[in-house]
Structure 1
Amino acid sequence: MKYLKISTLLLCFIAFSCSKNDDNAVANNPDSTPPATPTPVVKSVADYPVQDFMWKAMNTYYFWQSDVSDLADTKDDVTSDYVDFLSKESNPADFFFKLCNQHIDIVGEAAAIDRFSFLRENYKDLVNGFAGISKTNGVRFGTATYGPTNNDVFGFVRYIIPGSNADGKDIKRGDIFTAVNGIDLTLDNYIDLLGNSGSETYTLNFADLVDNTIVPNGRELSLTKESGTQRDPIFINKIIEQNGLKIGYFMYNQFISEYNEQLNEVFETFKAANIDELILDLRYNPGGATDSALQMASSIYSTDTSQLFAKDRTNSKLANTFWASSFYFVDETSNGTPINSLNLNRVYVITTGSTASASEFLINGLNPYMDVIQIGDATAGKNEFSFTLVDDAAYDFLYNPDRESNINPKNQWGIQPILGRAQNAAGFEDYTAGLIPDKPIIEDIANMGILGDPSERLLNFTLNEISATSSKTNFDAVFPANIINSTEEMEYPDGMMSLNGLINPKSISDNK
Structure 2
Amino acid sequence: MRKPQALVLTIFSLIFSSCEKDPPLNEPGSNETINEWTMAQMRQYYYWNEKITQKNDYQQAPDLFFKSLLFKDDHYSSILQTLNSDTYGNTLTNTFGFDMVQLQNQSETIQLVTQVVPFSEGDLMGLKRGDSISHINNEPTDHSNLKSLLSKSLLLPTMHLTRNDGKIFHLPSSYISQPVLYTAKLISSSPTVGYMFLSQFDFSGAYPLLEAVQNFKSQQVQELIIDLRYNPGGQVAFASFCALLLADIKENDIFAKYQGNKNIKNREDSFATALQGQPDGYSFSAKDVLKQGLHLKRIYMLTGSNTASAAEMLINGLKPYIDIIQVGDKTFGKDMASTTIVTPEDIRGSERAWHLIPMIYKIYNKVGQGDYSDGIAPSKVTDEFAFLPLVPIGDSRDPLIQEVLQTINVKNILAKGAVTTIEPTPTLKPKYIGSSYQEMPIVVNKPIKSEN
TM-score range, shorter chain: 0.7 to 0.9
1:264-413 matches, cutoff 5 A:
264-320=210-266, 325-330=267-272, 334=278, 335-337=283-285, 338-339=288-289, 340-391=292-343, 410-411=351-352, 413=354
* Deviations 1:131-187, CA, capped at 9 Å, x for gaps: x99851111222233454x8xx54311121234443322421111224433444455
1:462 matched to 2:418: no
Residues 157, 173 of structure 1: 8 Å contact kept? yes
Structure 1 distance, partners of 2:28, 2:114, is 48
Equivalent-residue separation in structure 2 for 1:122 and 1:178 (angstroms) = 39
Match in the other structure for 2:182: 235
In structure 2, the partner of 1:35 is none
Match of 2:96 in 1: 137
Code of the residue aligned with 1:425 in structure 2: it is K
Q: Residue 46 of structure 1: which of 17, 25, 29 is its match?
A: 29
Aligned to 1:436: 377
Deviation string, structure 1 residues 95-134 (Cα, Å, up to 9, x no partner)? 33222111xxxxxxxxxx112224555586698469x998
CA distance in 2, matches of 1:64, 1:425: 23
Q: Which whole-Å CA distance do the structure 1 matches of 2:169 and 2:349 have between them? A: 43
Name the counterpart of 1:115: 75
Residue 269 of structure 1 deviates from its aligned partner by: 3.5
Write the letter of the residue equivalent to 2:148: D
Q: Which runs of 5+ in 1 are unaligned?
A: 1-39, 76-80, 103-112, 209-216, 398-406
- Conservation of the 8 A alpha-carbon contact between 1:377 and 1:436: yes
Distance 1:133 1:61 in 2: 35
How much has 1:202 moved relative to structure 2? 5.6
- Structure having greater relative contact order (Cα 8 Å, sep ≥ 6): 2
User: Which residue is 2:168 aligned to?
Assistant: 220
Give 1:143's aligned amino acid: Q
For the pair 1:508 / 2:434, whether they are aligned, the reply is: no
The corresponding residue for 1:158 is: 114
Distance 1:133 1:187, change over 3 A: closer
Which residue does 2:4 correspond to in 1? Answer: none
SS of equivalent to 2:125 = coil
Distance 1:441 1:134 in 2: 25
In the alignment, structure 1 residue 496 sits paired with structure 2 residue 448: no
Q: CA deviation at 1:278?
A: 0.9
CA 1:222–1:478 in 2, change beyond 3 Å: closer, same or farther? same
More helix by share: 1
C-alpha displacement of 1:480: 4.2
* Secondary structure at 1:410 match in 2: coil
Instruction: Indicate the percent of aligned positions where both proteins have the same amino acid.
Output: 26
Per the TM alignment, residue 463 of structure 1 is displaced from its structure 2 partner at its CA by 2.5
Aligned position for 2:193: 247
CA distance in 2, matches of 1:95, 1:189: 32
Q: Write the distance in 2 (CA, Å) between the matches of 1:414 and 1:327.
A: 25
8 Å CA contact retained: 2:262, 2:450: no
- Secondary structure of the 1:167 match is helix
Q: 8 Å contact 2:104–2:428 — kept in the other structure?
A: yes
Q: How far apart, in 1, do the equivalents of 2:30 and 2:220 lie?
A: 62
Distance across 2 between alignment mates of 1:343 and 1:124: 43
Counterpart-to-counterpart distance in 2, 1:65 and 1:410: 27
Partner of 2:19: none
* Deviation, structure 1 residue 249: 1.1
CA RMSD of aligned residues (A): 3.7
Cα pair 2:80 2:356 within 8 Å, conserved: yes
TM-score (norm 2): 0.78
Work out whether 1:95 is the aligned partner of 2:65: yes
Partner AA of 2:116 in structure 1: I
Q: Give CA-to-partner distance per residue, 1:250-284, whole Å, 9 cap, x none.
A: 11011124544544444344334432111100011
AA in 2 matched with 1:162: P
Distance 1:248 1:326 in 2: 32
Displacement after TM superposition at 1:422 (Å): 0.9
**Closer/same/farther in 2, CA of residues 259 and 300 from structure 1, 3 Å limit:** same
Q: Note the C-alpha offset of 1:509.
A: 7.1
The answer for the alignment partner of 1:31 in structure 2 is none
The residue aligned with 2:430 is 483
1:496 Cα deviation from its structure 2 partner:
2.1
Instruction: State the match for 2:13 in structure 1.
Output: none
3-state secondary structure, aligned to 2:123: coil
The equivalent position to 2:365 in structure 1, one of 424, 433, 437, is 424
Q: TM-score, normalised by structure 1?
A: 0.69
The answer to whether the Cα contact below 8 Å between 1:177 and 1:204 also exists between their aligned partners in 2 is: no
Q: Report the CA distance between 1:461 and its aligned residue.
A: 3.1
Per-residue Cα deviation, 1:296-354 (whole angstroms, up to 9, x for no partner): 2222223513422321111223314xxxx112233966423421322211111111111
- Deviations, residues 378-426 of structure 1 (Å, cap 9, x unaligned): 21222222244444579xx9xxxxxxxxx98832554543222111222
Q: CA deviation at 1:61?
A: 3.1
Structure 2 counterparts to residues 26-37 of structure 1, below 5 A: none
Q: Are residues 280 and 135 of structure 1, via their aligned partners in 2, closer, same or farther at CA, if it must alter by over 3 Å?
A: closer
Q: Is the 8 A contact 1:301 1:343 kept in 2?
A: yes
Structure 1 match to 2:16 = none
In the superposition, relative to structure 1, how do residues 455 and 251 fare at CA in structure 2: closer, same or farther (>3 Å)?
A: same
SS at structure 1 position matched to 2:430 = strand
Structure 1 CA distance, aligned partners of 2:121 and 2:326?
34
Task: Please list the CA deviations of residues 177-204 of structure 1 after superposition, one character each: whole Å capped at 9, or x if unmatched.
Answer: 2443344445554323213785324645
**Contact 1:446-1:479 at 8 Å conserved across structures:** no
1:460 match: secondary structure? helix
Distance in structure 2 (CA, Å) of the matches to 1:120 and 1:269: 44
Q: Which has the larger radius of gyration?
A: 1
Partner of 2:388: helix, strand, or coil? coil
* Worse overlay, 331-340 or 449-458: 331-340
In structure 1, distance between residues paired with 2:153 and 2:161: 19
Q: CA deviation at 1:234?
A: 1.5
